[in-house]
Each structure stands twice: as C-alpha cells, then as structure tokens.
Structure 1
C-alpha cells in the first residue's frame, strides 16, 4: 500500500446549458481538472476557458467565475449557457440589478426552454444575496458497489521461498493462506466537500470493503482534509493538510498525516496545456507494527492537456521514505508516474483509463540471516472505468483494476485483478 495518499478531488462539475442553431446541448459530468490561470499569458482555448469558469462557479468562487465568463463571452457572445452562468455568478455575488439584467437578456435573446425558465424563476424568487462560505451548500457523493478480486490478500504468485544464505539456505512451500485467495466483496464509499471562508474547502471521505469469505481482509478508511487556495497575480497555489486512518480486520492498522502544496505558475504554454508542481510530506504509523513507521517526502509535477470533452494528465514524482531503525530494509527511495485520460462519451457516458507505476529501492538487506537481499519493488497498476448516468445525479459505474507487483524477493511478488459494478449518487 502506498504511504502517500492524495487528499481529495472535487466531487462534481457544474452543468452548463447552451442553445445553438435552435437546439439545446447539455454539458454534464465534466471530469475534475485543475483550472487555468484567470489571466493567461497566451490566448486561451475557449472551451478550456469556459470549463475553468464552471469549475470556479462550482467551487464557490463566483467572482473568479464572473471574470472568466466575461472574457469567454467577448469571443462567444451567442453562448446561452455562459450567459446563464454569468447571471448566476452575479446573483451569488449579491449583484441583484446586474443579475436581473442578464436574466432578462437571456429571455429576450434565446427563448430558453421551460427547464431553464424554472431555474431563472427560482433564482428570482430566492433573491440575490452575497453568500457567505457558511451558507454555501456542500456537495456529497455516495457509492455502493459489488465486486470480485482474484487476490484479496496479495498472496505470492510463487509457491516456494528460500531463507538463509550459503550453506544455511532452506526452501519451503508456502501455506495455502499465503497464496492468492479469490473472493467477492461489497464496497461502500461516501465523500463530502464544503466551502469555508477565505477560499478554503473542508472534505471528509469514508470507505469500507467487506469480503464474503476472507473477512480478515476487511478494511475501512477515513480521511479528513482542509485545503486553502491563494492567487497572487497570475499564480495559483493550493495547500492541503489531511489526516487519515485505516482499519484491517476490524482493528486499527494505520494512521496517516499529510501536508501537500501545489503551485501552478503562469507559464507561456500552449492554451490546452497546464503544468503544476507539487510537494508533499506524509507520516504513517502502524500501531501494532511500530518498526514499520515511516515518513515519505515527494516532489513532482502534473502536466494536463484538455481538448473538448477530454482531459489527459501525466504526473511524475520522486520519493524518499525514512523509516524506523528497525524497519526491514531500512530507508527507501523511488519514483512514481501515472497517465490518466478522462472523456465524455455523449451526454450520459464518461470513461476513464489510468496507468500507474511505482518503483522502490531499499537501502539495506531486508532481514540479515533470513532474507539476505536488498529489496527492489516495481508495481504497475491499470484501471478502466465506464460511467453511465442513466438519470440525473445517479450513475452506474463498471470498473476493472489490475496490479502487477514484481520484486526480487519472490515472497512479496503478486498479481491481482478485480472487477466491480457500482451505483453512484452525486449531490451538489
């Protein structure tokens, strides 16, 4: 299990509404993505600019959303969805007169359908008051899944192992409990994010996985995180602190603490590209196995490319893990890389493909006299997910995951494959 944990992603993207050539086009389910600078050095792609505005509006940054939407409408004055989003952002800023002017302009120019008229009527009835952070609604996501994993215990794919060295080497055959164990499982997940005063966001995340037979592999996770954003000039900065815990077989297994910083400078990159630099430090404690405690630092970067309905992200980082003096193998160094691709497939379908690779190299022999090898670990992961939004805020997600853990110590080498079907509810 990787010591580092990402904090959280925003759970929703605001739906946009557009009328073009007499037709209505909904833009829903955009994947979470970092937003572009509010004042880019190069002319920004219009689609990217609009998505950034929706992101800012969804995160409660109505002032930033309004500025981005004004820039977008300078180039796309007939985009009805952007007009509506601008009116809503002005309403949330408490600018009732300007919001009413924009609502009237929408009714005059675009003859909106009944659903949009209901949105406008509801906004008018509620009034336009500047919302405090405490008054902004939070967003939550719930997931209930059922799946099958062919190696829930990460059992070794080699039935034999050898301990000792030289003339003292002894070979054994692994007991069945240490070989791959397949099982079905049920999984539950719940996430909640809420804006706080001063560009801050609070997030909670809970999860549990219960196996049908291998109950000793049951896990539960909890995470709470606080994120704060800054925007000095055209720079964008985000800082996150997080606390987490993991239980295994209904007993506390791991505690985690993490701090992370993200910096997006105003580089002169082509409009669809965005480069973010990251740094983090995390400390992991194992209450029942204190010699495995460790502190991991990470330095990396994320390159994002957005085009139309698709987002591609490539990340790479270097890792350094300092453990307790008694930890087998001593300190470790390594690197991590991932490639992720998100896309919308029409109005109701989203797809995601992800590939990851992590490499660790220990600094000393794993266990002198027993396993006289310096551990080298390479783990490759893959994920494929297809999401069908068959009704508003309700989706069915089909997912496949695979892991290939290749090590020079055969005892720890394993492969696993899992498939899962989940019902997901989004609310914002």
Structure 2
C-alpha cells in the first residue's frame, strides 16, 4: 500500500467513526426524549385519574400504550377505566391482551381476575334474590342470665335475689326463614333498592319469636381513585307479637382501589355508621349510636379472603337512660375460604364494648357503672348444588359479659339449612 493511501484510509476511518458516534448520540438522545415524553404522559394520566377525569386519563393511557406496547401497567390501568366507564367489552379485551402478551406476577393475575369477575360488571345490573330455610337449636331462646343469684350493693333494700326458673336460660328448637333482594333502579344509575324479611319461630318460647323487616336504598359511586358506598335503611324487630325495636341507619364507606402486594390483593377504607334506635315499649332506652372504623380487605392467594373493621363507638341516650352516655369500641373480622366444588367456609369473630359514664342504679348497685362486652364467633359451611341451590351448616356462640351479673348471658346456636340465589 502506498504512502498516499495510508493517510486517506486513516481519514476515512476517522470519518466513519465520527458518523457512527453522531448516530449513536442521536439515537441516545431520541430514546431519552421518548422516555421523557412517556414519563410525562404517565404523570398526566395519574393526575387525571386522581381528580376523577377518567375519560381524559384513558386517552393518555392509550397514547402511552400506542407509543410503547411494552407498557403493561398502562394497559391494566386502561382496562380498569374502561370498566368504570361501562365499556365492559373493551375492558375484557385489554385484560385478555395482558394475559396473552405479558408474563405478570401472581398478585397481578389475581387483580386481573378480580376486575374480570367482580368489579367489571355488566352495564345493566341485574336484580338479586336470596331465599333460605333452616332448622336449628339454641341454648338460650329467652336471653336468660347465666347466674341465677343477683347480688346487690351494701345498703341496698335487699342483699340478693334468686331468679325464678322461668327467667333463666331455656333451650329450644326453631325454624328460621329469610328472603333478601336487591333491585337496581334503571332510570337512576348507581341506585339500588334493598329489602328483606327474616323470621324465627320457636317450638316453645313463642314470646321470643323474632321477625325483622328491612327496607333501604344503596348508592355506589367512584370518587378520587376509590369507591364510596352510602346506604340508608329502616328496620323493625318484632319480639313475640309486639314491635320491640325500630332502627333508622345511615351507613357510609370509602374504599381505595385494590393494590397488589406480592401474592395478595388488598384495599383499605373508612367505615361510618349512624343508627337511631327507638323502643316503643320503653322509650327510656331510645338512643343514637355512632361508629367510625378503619376497614381492610385482602384476597390472600387464590382462595382466601379477609375482611376487618375496627374503631371507636358512642351511644348517646335520647332521654334519662340509666348510666347515661356510653363509649367503647367494636372490632369485626371475617375469613372466607373458597374450596371450589368442595364448598365454602366462613368464620366471623366480633367483639364490642360499651362503658357507661355514670352508675347504673345507685340504690341497688351502688357506684357500679355498667361495662358490657359482647363477643360473637360463628362458623358456616356451604356446599353448592346445581341451579343456584346450596346446603349449609352453621354454629355460633355469643357471650355477653357485664359488670352487673343480671345482664350477663351466653347463647349457643346450631342450624342446618338450604338456600337458593337468583
């Protein structure tokens, strides 16, 4: 190779290297610019979702997916928004695309399953109806106290009292039936009418037969990336042949959207209940009860669901009720295990406490203020049958512990029944 050719070849190599370097720099700059645009679009979409502008957020998410088909998270968010906007077919199409094109963690698979089977419902809700009949036995049909001897405070007119046998706990058998339904209002979106009737007839203790009638309305809405449920209901409780209690209740709950955590999908919320209770036979015990509780729900693995509520409660009398104002707390926990064709198990644990602000009755009980704790545990097993039918067995225990022994009692229940759901 000549001496002249060597400098020319060197210059050509330098020029080629410079060209490649400029091309690489340009590609790097273009990629960085694209990433900046994608990040900005994602931030805008999140902002629109947080402010409840679902249509605008959906347009931004679709643009993100169009620019980069690898954005599975944006596609999942779009599927959720399609669902919220009532476009169920487009939502299911997006979920199917995620299933076929991406390898997602088990928790995300669970989240997709929840939206596909529960959250993303048809745009035209259907009415529901549940009917059940059961036969059972209880250890305490008349809510009789656990202790037959009532001891009074020193200085009371009498020192103690032996309760008559008919006032103590009586075992009995019963037949229980229930019907509950929900009717969506077609001309009023998000509104559902509620109704129900329950009836328990004892074999012997007919004075304690129980019947309950309920009517209400429910409103569910999406709000700030979550869900708000408001329900107003009125119910009447008959004990024997007379109306024993009347309740008017407002229940409100806020839930965040479900989030995936490892192998679980969970959501949190806040629950508020306000109940006005009246007792036609004794207005002295009329009151207003309020509860504010933190709420948590989790789908654990493929088959287990947990639901929990806990928070303070207040009970203010409308008149001069003995003991005056009451304060306390309530806690509620349920665990549900779906065994598929083998049936379903549900366990519920509940505890609530209310403490009086003043002595209950200074004449008979001195300075003792009533402190009452209610503990309930139940276990239910349901076995599915064809065409909406199922068999179920249930056992439960309720313990009422009170600083005044006259009001302490325990109830054990067991029943077998059949139910049908439309």
Give the TM-score taking structure 2 as reference length.
Answer: 0.72
Secondary structure (helix, strand or coil) at the match of 2:406 reads: helix
1:343 deviates by: 1.6
Say whether the 8 Å CA contact 1:157–1:180 is kept in structure 2.
Answer: yes
Partners of 2:139 and 2:161 lie apart in 1 by: 24
Say whether the 8 Å CA contact 1:298–1:319 is kept in structure 2.
Answer: yes
1:153 deviates by: 1.4
Partners of 1:272 and 1:92 lie apart in 2 by: 22
1:302 maps onto 2:302 in alignment: no
Residue 139 (structure 2) aligns with: 150
Q: Deviations over 1:237-276 (max 9, x none)?
A: 1111111110011211111101121112358773611101
Q: Deviations over 1:12-54 (max 9, x none)?
A: xxxxxxxxxxxxxxxxxxxxxxxxx999xxx99xxxx99x99x
1:378 maps onto 2:368 in alignment: no
Q: 1:349 aligns with which of 340, 343, 347?
A: 343
Say whether the 8 Å CA contact 1:149–1:183 is kept in structure 2.
Answer: yes
Secondary structure (helix, strand or coil) at the match of 2:324 reads: coil
Q: For residues 124-135 of structure 1, what are the structure 2 equivalents within 5 Å? A: 131=124
Q: 1:272 aligns with which of 255, 258, 265?
A: 265
Say whether the 8 Å CA contact 1:62–1:92 is kept in structure 2.
Answer: no
Aligned residues: 336
Q: 1:77 aligns with which of 81, 85, 100?
A: 100
Partners of 2:270 and 2:329 lie apart in 1 by: 15
Q: Which runs of 5+ in 1 are unaligned?
A: 1-36, 94-130
Say whether the 8 Å CA contact 1:66–1:90 is kept in structure 2.
Answer: no
Q: 1:361 aligns with which of 341, 348, 355?
A: 355
Residue 192 (structure 1) aligns with: 181
Partners of 1:370 and 1:150 lie apart in 2 by: 29
Higher relative contact order structure (alpha carbons within 8 Å, sequence separation ≥ 6): 1
Residue 277 (structure 2) aligns with: 284
1:64 deviates by: 6.2
Partners of 1:167 and 1:239 lie apart in 2 by: 49
Aligned-pair Cα RMSD in Å: 3.4
Residue 386 (structure 2) aligns with: 391
**Rg larger for:** 2
Q: Deviations over 1:272-319 (max 9, x none)?
A: 111010112110000110000000111012111103122111110211
1:228 maps onto 2:222 in alignment: no
Q: For residues 117-266 of structure 1, what are the structure 2 equivalents within 5 Å? A: 131=124, 137-166=126-155, 168-196=157-185, 197-266=188-257
Partners of 1:366 and 1:326 lie apart in 2 by: 11
1:326 deviates by: 2.1
1:337 maps onto 2:331 in alignment: yes
Q: Which runs of 5+ in 2 are unaligned?
A: 1-51, 58-71, 102-108
Say whether the 8 Å CA contact 2:88–2:122 is kept in structure 1.
Answer: no
1:371 deviates by: 2.5
Shift in CA distance, 165/306, structure 1 to aligned 2, threshold 3 Å: same
Partners of 2:88 and 2:291 lie apart in 1 by: 32
Say whether the 8 Å CA contact 1:350–1:387 is kept in structure 2.
Answer: yes
Partners of 2:90 and 2:348 lie apart in 1 by: 34
Secondary structure (helix, strand or coil) at the match of 2:140 reads: coil
Secondary structure (helix, strand or coil) at the match of 2:207 reads: helix
Give the TM-score taking structure 1 as reference length.
Answer: 0.71
Secondary structure (helix, strand or coil) at the match of 1:152 reads: coil
Partners of 1:66 and 1:233 lie apart in 2 by: 24
Q: For residues 80-91 of structure 1, what are the structure 2 equivalents within 5 Å? A: none
Partners of 2:139 and 2:86 lie apart in 1 by: 50
Residue 424 (structure 1) aligns with: 419
Partners of 2:161 and 2:411 lie apart in 1 by: 23
Say whether the 8 Å CA contact 2:231–2:251 is kept in structure 1.
Answer: yes
1:65 deviates by: 4.5
Say whether the 8 Å CA contact 1:348–1:390 is kept in structure 2.
Answer: no
Say whether the 8 Å CA contact 1:296–1:321 is kept in structure 2.
Answer: yes
